[in-house]
Amino acid sequence: MNNGSFLRSRKFRHGSTAALLTAFLIAVVVIINITFTALAQKYMWYTDMTTEKLYTLSPEAIELMDTSFKKVEAERGEEIKVEIIFCDEKDNLMAETTQRYVLETALQLQTEFPDIIDVKFIDVWTNPSAVDKYRANAHSNIFSTNVIVASGTEFRVYALQAFYVFSDADSTTPWSYNGEKKLASGILACIQAESPIACFTMNHGEAFYDREFLYLMEDAGYKLQQLDLATEEIPEDCRMLITYKPQSDFLVKDKFSDISEIAKLDAYLDATNAYMVFLDPQTPVLNNLEEYLEEWGVVFDRVTDDAGINYSYTIKDTTKSLTVDGYTIQGDYTLNGLGASITTDMRDVAYPPKVIFQNAMSISYAKNYDSIYYEDEEDATKNYWYGTYYSNGVSRSIYDIFLSSPNAEAFANGEKVESASTLDPFKLMTVTRESRMVDNTNADYSYVLACGSTQFLSQDMLQSPTYGNTDVLLSAMRSMGKELVTVGLKHKPFASTDIDTITTQQANQYTVVLTAVPTAIIFGLGIFVMVRRKYA
């Protein structure tokens, strides 16, 4: 055979050209793939295909961070720097699903705020001393799964479990991702000049069977502390005081006691602070505490029988209940006044979240408060009722936050005692504000929020992505406590991956279709190309 002729032949020239072209294209594709992968990892070029947008930083989180950074920098007069430190190598984190979720959220925060947030990686196995300054004490451990949020001298150390939501029935398998909110709350807590304290009164039979509310307070940036008012003073930096489901009364100074818990509470609220109290129909009559709350316009509704026994109102509404018995009711938002201002952001959406009051006792305004009807001269829909009191330089006003529907009824001792109406629904949650003038033009305020349902704080209500109970509390903290809080950031439930709703026959059919159809299409295209080339 003549090699020279073969090298000059059309078959060789076309074949070698095709081979070279193929090799070149493969090389180009590999180079592009390597380059794009590197750039994608650096600049977060990803498309979130999950229906829950697990990997996507929400617009609410971006807006909250941006607003908070600008506010704190303006107050400090200097730039903020935040570090999010992972205690393992990046490749190891990316290889483990639950850690990767948190890392992806942190990297997106870094991408969104590159001048402020810096994501770092420290391998605590090979370099444990690098995180010594983040240990709460000499004996605390930091593991490879921990995540540290730090700014200046402030820091928070989180376990991996903190970024997920678990059910009571299964504390090992998360059902929802809460990383966005947890990282945001950690950042807010660290950039504040001083973390405020939230105190929970104790030794009156208070008990949190569900700890979700405590986690929520921590996420809001508060340091939590139990407080025995009988033996301790309220800390000067306490900004929020909470009483939850007390079973015995607060002390007052009398012939039996030289101690007055009520006096301490009153002095605390004189210093422009905030107080939350949660009772329910099963709460016994607490004369001292309730008399003091009456000074703030709050009266928990009860009826007294001929024998002098008090029975609490329990609100029932079968038209707006989640349960057949009618006692787990959806509250109606108030649309005007101070109470409405707390829920403005919640209502500023197409479908405001349902806010649920289970086993609720209603609230009335105290008799010494004047009922005022505010009328807007231009828009009658902005009219509303509120209560007001003024005496000896003390000015207080009480407003509704949530009401029952006009169809609700109140039961006490098993009997119906009152019915709601369009003009007079039952009050489920109220807020009272005391105003005092700082100077001739500026005022400062103290607040008391009262709620007639302790189940409002249950884990089922606060963990649910459907109900708005969590956002109500966070919004109230923002309004009353004047703190930066993670309002509007929700956890993201994982989609169900169960396929046990299809039969084995259906599963086999899906397998055949998904296997055979693509193969047939490719085979047909191959034949079509061969025939065309043969007769071209």
Same domain, 33 and 151: no
Instruction: Write down the pTM of the prediction.
Output: 0.70
**Of 43-52, 270-279, 331-340, minimum mean pLDDT range:** 43-52
Residues 6 or more apart in contact with residue 276 via CB below 8 angstroms = 240, 241, 242, 243, 448, 449, 450, 451, 476
Residue 443 lies in a domain: yes
- Domain C-terminal end among 162, 197, 217: 162
Share of the chain above pLDDT 90, in %: 43
Same domain, 349 and 413: yes
- Domain C-terminal end among 162, 192, 225: 162
Give the per-residue pLDDT at 501. Answer: 42
Angle at 62 between CA 145 and CA 56, to 5 degrees: 60
pLDDT level of residue 340 (50, 70, 90 thresholds): very high
Would the pLDDT of 500 be above 60? no
Same domain, 394 and 442: yes
Average pLDDT taken over every residue of the chain: 83
Q: Distance between CA atoms of 78 and 65, rounded to whole angstroms?
A: 16
Angle at 310 between CA 309 and CA 314, to 5 degrees: 140
Same domain, 457 and 322: yes
Half-sphere exposure of 6 (CA within 13 A, CB side): 3
pLDDT level of residue 9 (50, 70, 90 thresholds): low
Q: 413-452: per-residue pLDDT in tens?
A: 999 999 999 999 999 999 999 987 666 667 789 999 999 9
Residue 357 lies in a domain: yes
Q: Distance between CA atoms of 47 and 54, rounded to whole angstroms?
A: 11
Q: Distance between CA atoms of 316 and 408, rounded to whole angstroms?
A: 6
Would the pLDDT of 157 be above 90? no
Q: Distance between CA atoms of 97 and 328, rounded to whole angstroms?
A: 37
Same domain, 308 and 453: yes
pLDDT level of residue 11 (50, 70, 90 thresholds): low
Same domain, 22 and 70: no
Give the per-residue pLDDT at 507. Answer: 55
Residue 480 lies in a domain: yes
Q: Distance between CA atoms of 444 and 241, rounded to whole angstroms?
A: 18
Residue 307 lies in a domain: yes
Tell me the β-bridge partners of 48: none
φ/ψ of 507, rounded to 5, equals: -60, -40
Residue 235 lies in a domain: no
Which pairs from 405-410 meet CB under 8 Å and 24+ separation? 405/317, 405/319, 405/320, 405/329, 405/332, 407/317, 407/318, 407/319, 407/320, 408/315, 408/316, 408/317, 408/320, 408/329, 409/315, 409/316, 409/317, 410/301, 410/313, 410/314, 410/315, 410/316, 410/362
Same domain, 471 and 524: no
Q: 479-498: per-residue pLDDT in tens?
A: 887 655 555 566 566 654 44
Among 26-35, 207-216, 455-464, 517-526, top mean pLDDT goes to 455-464
Q: 72-113: per-residue pLDDT in tens?
A: 888 888 888 999 999 999 999 988 888 888 999 999 999 999
Same domain, 485 and 524: no
Same domain, 478 and 356: yes
Same domain, 331 and 445: yes
Residue 250 lies in a domain: no
166-182 burial, b at 16+ Cβ within 10 Å, e below that, comes to: eeeeeeeebebbbbbbb
Residue with tokens 């009262």: 450
Give the per-residue pLDDT at 497. Answer: 42
43-70 burial, b at 16+ Cβ within 10 Å, e below that, comes to: eeeeeeeeeeebbbbbebbeebbeebbe
Angle at 369 between CA 445 and CA 340, to 5 degrees: 55
Give the per-residue pLDDT at 172. Answer: 66
Q: 244-256: per-residue pLDDT in tens?
A: 999 999 999 987 8
Beta strands in 317-378 (DSSP E): 328-330, 332-333, 356-358, 363-365, 370-374
Same domain, 401 and 299: yes
Domain that holds residue 504: 500-536
* 261, 229 contact by CB (below 8 A): yes
Residue 534 lies in a domain: yes
Helices 97-112 and 59-76: crossing angle in degrees, nearest 10, is 50
Mean pLDDT of 135-152: 80
pLDDT level of residue 266 (50, 70, 90 thresholds): very high
Residues 6 or more apart in contact with residue 125 via CB below 8 angstroms = 88, 144
Residues 6 or more apart in contact with residue 185 via CB below 8 angstroms = 218, 219, 220, 221, 485, 486
Residue 328 lies in a domain: yes
Same domain, 318 and 421: yes
Residue 66: give its domain's CATH number: 3.40.30
Would the pLDDT of 268 be above 70? yes
Q: 53-78: per-residue pLDDT in tens?
A: 555 778 888 888 888 888 888 888 88
Give the per-residue pLDDT at 57. Answer: 78
* 400, 351 contact by CB (below 8 A): no
In the chain, the number of structural domains is: 4
